[in-house]
């Protein structure tokens, strides 16, 4: 009988616990454990998982053993493996997978670790109050675990992006853009590529420095002067290791793919080209990977969600596939999109363009008037989209009943009305079961031809965006449940239940504002969070409590195990609907097609079992990287937008209060800080229980949601920060 992954993990750990075990390399372990060649990828992923969880360690020579066993460490139970996050002040933190609280590392205990290094850390037994470490406010009773890094397992940073400063004729320094790095990078003149003061450069690290020496690097690329158009965004792109160009092998493969599908490719597929269907996307979207159709079967709705069959063109282990896995996702920055796949595919043969024959995977669901899926089919199909619609136009048709827009698309207007009807039904059903909707306002930043921001305005969801969201969620749930019950290898999108301690803190915090959530043994149902958000809607404290609730949640991720999705209040969920821009969707499309074709034999099941943990982990990591880069570019352009507005006054709303000051958000979503030293005419005390700032002399008080008038004092483009002062008191 084939062993489960958990059984294989236990076998490996049992071997290493044996008193006669000698640390071995991966190939030696494979021989001893009699691992078949097709199962070697899973052995690699298990060893990587055990390393990340701190169960085992690997020597410089690549030999694996239990943590501490190699050096006879008596405190092995206190040794963990994680990622070092440095701070510009010299100290840092180690984030350990599966551990909610990170470990504080004093400057003297960093052990030569550099930002993002994978390290082994020993827990120190004299923890100190967390508030003394400058990482957020907490009560004096709160204790943070303190650690000491004993080993750097793997370097996590090999390149640095920063600003070059020439010191003298023989050397210069690069000041890193990443504020977490505590040291400038020393560059010898012969390694500078002729960089001048103010040049943004990319530096390969030659050495990581120590207590007496700065890290040393070699300039490998000059991006341009800090003030040149586009250099600011490109610095962020390079800083996050995002590839803007595709390798030649990838472009060659993309070029070999035709612009139109061959009729031979349609054989064996369900022909849906006569089915009325549309795409609904943003006005400027070019990679259209989902189309929708709707017909009626009596009183039941027959909803079709048709997804581009990208896997037909991106074959496993091809250059295209390897590059897509490395990227993990498309990245949507303020001024550009860095696609997961070359434009020839993402905007061409894979995009469901109007009037073009396209290959698809279709999930066709029969849904009752109560919103329940009573039947469904998942099929390979060939489709042809009738209209390429956008959110604005569809919203006019279904919500505002705009006669001109409806006449323009008269052949689909009635279908869109039925779609809107169904959307409201399934959204209400999802709300009833407790799904949480954090509806934070996003912004749209308009740039001129040189990349300078000329306008910022909120981007609002409307009936059309919600309609597509509802239909995609329904298809994702249906596909996930189908493959869960087939008990086949799969990649799920999971969102674990919140940590009980964070829920306790959230409950205590909202009690100070007169709100309450029900918990049972510190466990909470998503419906309670949903009720809380409904209760605080349109109140002064809405923004803060919504953010506090979000921070109490765990981060959604990809994994081969189906553990449910807390935020959506559902047991089964996956990402099926965006294979052009997300690798997990592409990965499960291959599994779906092999299952539909009856090709998932034991060998193929073993293959997928072996690779999916690595695929899921990497996809989660690349998703987080993309989100961080996107946030950085938005923050950068918001700061730049305010550069020529210094001295101007605005009315905003207090969006956050901390011990160092009051954050104010303007109507266009730009946020700045009024430092506590700039609050007018009083000595102020921050109340962490109620998130209020109170003056001790005159009783002046600043609270969340309060409308205030502010003046723009300063913009720090290096830190991307905006400083305000209270204007009404001037």
At residue 143, the pLDDT reads: 58
Residue 138 has pLDDT above 80, yes or no: no
> Fold for domain 5-66?
Arc Repressor Mutant, subunit A (1.10.10)
Q: Residue 131's pLDDT is what? A: 39
pLDDT at 134: 32
- Per the prediction, the chain carries an average pLDDT of 90
The band of 540, judged by pLDDT with boundaries at 50, 70 and 90, is confident
Same CATH fold, 76-154 and 5-66? no
Strands 701-702 and 707-716: unpaired
What tokens appear for 486 in the block? 């087939």
pLDDT of 135 higher than 60: no
Homologous superfamily in CATH for domain 76-154: Nucleic acid-binding proteins (2.40.50.140)
Among 185-199, 257-271, 312-326, 508-522, where is mean pLDDT lowest? 508-522
- Tell me the C-alpha distance between 660 and 126, whole Å: 28
Residue 593 has pLDDT above 80, yes or no: yes
First to last CA, the chain: 78
Q: Are the beta carbons of 87 and 182 closer than 8 angstroms?
A: yes
pLDDT > 50? residue 71: no
Q: How confident is the model at residue 125 (pLDDT cuts 50, 70, 90)?
A: low
> Taking a C-beta distance cutoff of 8 angstroms, is the pair 480, 592 a contact?
no
Least confident range from 149-153, 164-168, 197-201, 664-668: namely: 149-153
Span of 26-40, 68-82, 511-525 with lowest mean pLDDT: 68-82
pLDDT more than 90, % of the chain: 64
Assess whether pLDDT exceeds 60 at residue 136: no
Q: Per the structure block, which two tokens stand in for 354?
A: 């109007």
CA-closest candidate to residue 701, choices 712, 713, 690, 714: 690
Task: Give the mean model confidence (pLDDT) for residues 381-392.
Answer: 98
**Is 584 strand, coil or helix?**
helix
The residue extents of the domains of the chain are: 5-66, 76-154, 159-228, 248-490+574-632, 643-726
pLDDT band at 259 (very low <50, low <70, confident <90, very high): very high
Is the domain spanning 159-228 CATH 2.40.50.700? The answer is yes
Closest of 156, 152, 148, 90 to residue 124, by C-alpha? 148
pLDDT band at 121 (very low <50, low <70, confident <90, very high): confident
**Residue 712 contacts residue 645 (beta carbons within 8 Å):** yes
SS percent in the chain: helix, strand, coil, step 5 = 35, 30, 40
For range 358-378, the mean pLDDT: 98
- DSSP codes joined into one string, 157-216: --EEEEEEEE-SSSEEEEEES-TT--SPEEEEGGGSTT--TTEEEEEEEEE---SSS--E
Residue whose tokens read 């470990």: 103
Q: Say how many C-beta atoms besides its own lie within 10 A of residue 270's C-beta.
A: 15
pLDDT in tens, 700-721: 899 888 899 999 999 999 899 9
The confidence score (pLDDT) of residue 708 equals: 94
Average pLDDT over residues 567-593: 98
pLDDT of 58 above 70: yes
Residue matched to tokens 């053993």: 65
Give the residue with greater pLDDT, 441 vs 588: 588
Fold of 643-726: OB fold (Dihydrolipoamide Acetyltransferase, E2P) (2.40.50)
pLDDT of 76 above 60: no
Residue percentage of the chain with pLDDT more than 70: 95
Instruction: Place 8 in a pLDDT band, splitting at 50, 70 and 90.
Output: confident
In this prediction, residue 544 carries a pLDDT of 77
Q: Inform me whether the pLDDT recorded for 275 exceeds 90.
A: yes
Q: State how beta strands 671-675 and 721-726 pair.
A: parallel
pLDDT-wise least confident of 98-102, 393-397, 507-511 = 98-102
Q: How confident is the model at residue 495 (pLDDT cuts 50, 70, 90)?
A: very high
Q: Are 532 and 498 in contact (CB under 8 A)?
A: no
554 pLDDT above the threshold of 50: yes
Query: Above 50 in pLDDT, residue 730?
Result: no
Name the residue among 314, 423, 308, 294 with its Cα closest to residue 360. 308
pLDDT higher than 60, residue 646: yes
pLDDT score for 729: 54
CB distance 76 to 67 below 8 Å: yes
Q: What is the pLDDT of residue 371?
A: 96
246 pLDDT above the threshold of 70: yes
Mean pLDDT, range 528-543, rounded to an integer: 87
Measured on CA atoms in the order 609, 614, 616, 617, is the torsion positive or negative? positive
Render pLDDT for 160-219 as a digit per residue (tens, 0 to 9): 999 999 988 899 999 999 988 888 999 999 999 999 999 999 999 999 987 778 899 999
Q: Token pair of 668, please? A: 């266009």
pTM, full prediction: 0.84
Q: Which long-range contacts (CB under 8 A, 24 or more apart) does 240-249 make?
A: 240/625, 240/628, 240/629, 240/632, 241/159, 241/625, 242/331, 242/338, 242/625, 242/626, 242/629, 243/326, 243/327, 243/338, 244/338, 246/323, 246/342, 247/319, 247/323, 249/319
Q: Of the candidates 217, 209, 231, 116, which has an alpha carbon nearest to the alpha carbon of residue 175?
A: 217
The pLDDT value given to residue 70? 55
pLDDT > 90? residue 511: no
């Amino acid at each position: 009988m084939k062993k489960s992954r958990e059984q294989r993990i236990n076998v490996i750990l049992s071997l290493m616990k044996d008193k006669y075990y000698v640390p071995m390399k991966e190939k030696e372990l494979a021989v001893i454990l009699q691992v078949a060649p097709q199962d070697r990828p899973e052995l690699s992923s298990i060893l990587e998982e055990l390393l990340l969880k701190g169960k085992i360690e690997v020597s410089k020579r690549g030999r694996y053993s239990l943590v501490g066993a190699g050096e006879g460490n008596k405190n092995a139970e206190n040794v963990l493996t994680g990622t070092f996050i440095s701070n510009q002040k010299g100290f840092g933190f180690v984030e350990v997978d599966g551990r909610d609280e990170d470990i504080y590392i004093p400057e003297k205990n960093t052990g030569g670790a550099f930002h993002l290094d994978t390290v082994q850390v020993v827990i120190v037994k004299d923890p100190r109050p967390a508030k003394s470490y400058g990482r957020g406010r907490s009560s004096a009773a709160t204790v943070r675990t303190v650690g000491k890094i004993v080993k750097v397992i793997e370097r996590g940073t090999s390149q640095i992006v920063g600003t070059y400063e020439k010191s003298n004729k023989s050397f210069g320094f690069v000041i890193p853009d990443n504020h977490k790095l505590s040291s400038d990078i020393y560059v010898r003149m012969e390694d500078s590529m002729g960089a001048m003061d103010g040049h943004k450069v990319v530096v390969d690290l030659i050495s990581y420095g120590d207590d007496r020496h700065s890290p040393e690097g070699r300039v490998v690329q000059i991006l341009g002067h800090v003030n040149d158009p586009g250099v600011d965004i490109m610095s962020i792109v390079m800083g996050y290791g995002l590839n803007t160009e595709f390798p030649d092998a990838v472009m060659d493969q993309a070029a070999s793919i035709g612009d139109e599908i061959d009729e031979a490719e349609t054989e064996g597929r369900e022909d849906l080209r006569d089915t009325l269907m549309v795409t609904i996307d943003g006005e400027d979207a070019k990679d259209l990977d989902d189309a929708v159709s709707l017909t009626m079967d009596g009183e039941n709705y027959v909803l079709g969600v048709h997804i581009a069959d990208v896997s037909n063109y991106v074959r496993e282990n091809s250059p295209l596939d390897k590059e897509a896995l490395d990227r993990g996702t498309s990245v949507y920055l303020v001024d550009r999109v860095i696609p997961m796949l070359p434009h020839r595919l993402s905007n061409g043969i894979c995009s469901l363009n109007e009037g073009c024959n396209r290959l698809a995977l279709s999930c066709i669901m029969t849904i009752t008037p109560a919103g329940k899926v009573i039947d469904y089919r998942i099929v390979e199909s060939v489709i042809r989209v009738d209209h390429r619609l956008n959110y604005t136009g569809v919203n006019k048709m279904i919500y505002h009943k705009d006669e001109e827009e409806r006449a323009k698309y008269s052949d689909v207007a009635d279908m869109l009305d039925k779609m809107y009807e169904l959307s409201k039904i399934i959204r209400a059903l999802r709300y009833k079961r407790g799904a949480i909707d954090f509806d934070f306002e996003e912004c749209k930043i308009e740039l001129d031809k040189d990349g300078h921001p000329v306008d910022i305005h909120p981007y609002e969801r409307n009936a059309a965006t919600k309609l597509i969201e509802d239909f995609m969620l329904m298809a994702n749930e249906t596909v996930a449940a189908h493959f869960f019950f087939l008990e086949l290898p799969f990649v799920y999108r999971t969102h674990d239940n919140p940590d009980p301690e964070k829920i306790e803190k959230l409950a205590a915090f909202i009690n100070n504002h007169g709100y309450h959530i029900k918990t049972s043994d510190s466990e909470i149902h998503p419906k309670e969070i949903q009720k809380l958000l409904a209760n605080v809607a349109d109140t002064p404290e809405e923004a803060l409590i919504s953010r506090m609730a979000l921070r109490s949640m765990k981060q959604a991720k990809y994994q081969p195990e189906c553990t449910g999705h807390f935020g959506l209040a559902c047991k089964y969920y996956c990402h099926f609907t965006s294979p052009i821009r997300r690798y997990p969707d592409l990965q499960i499309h291959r599994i779906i097609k092999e299952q539909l074709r009856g090709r998932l034999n034991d060998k193929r099941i073993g293959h997928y079992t072996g690779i999916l943990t690595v695929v899921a982990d990497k996809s989660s990591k690349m998703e987080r990287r993309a989100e961080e880069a996107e946030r950085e570019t938005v923050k950068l352009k918001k700061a730049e937008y305010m550069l020529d507005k210094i001295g101007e006054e605005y009315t905003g709303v207090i969006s956050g209060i901390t011990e160092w000051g009051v954050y104010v958000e303007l109507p266009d979503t730009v946020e700045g800080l009024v430092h506590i030293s700039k609050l007018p005419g009083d000595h102020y005390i921050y109340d962490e229980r109620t998130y209020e700032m109170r003056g001790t002399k005159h009783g002046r008080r600043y609270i969340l949601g309060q409308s205030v008038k502010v003046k723009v004092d300063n913009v720090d483009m290096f830190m991307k920060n905006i400083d305000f002062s209270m204007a009404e008191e001037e």
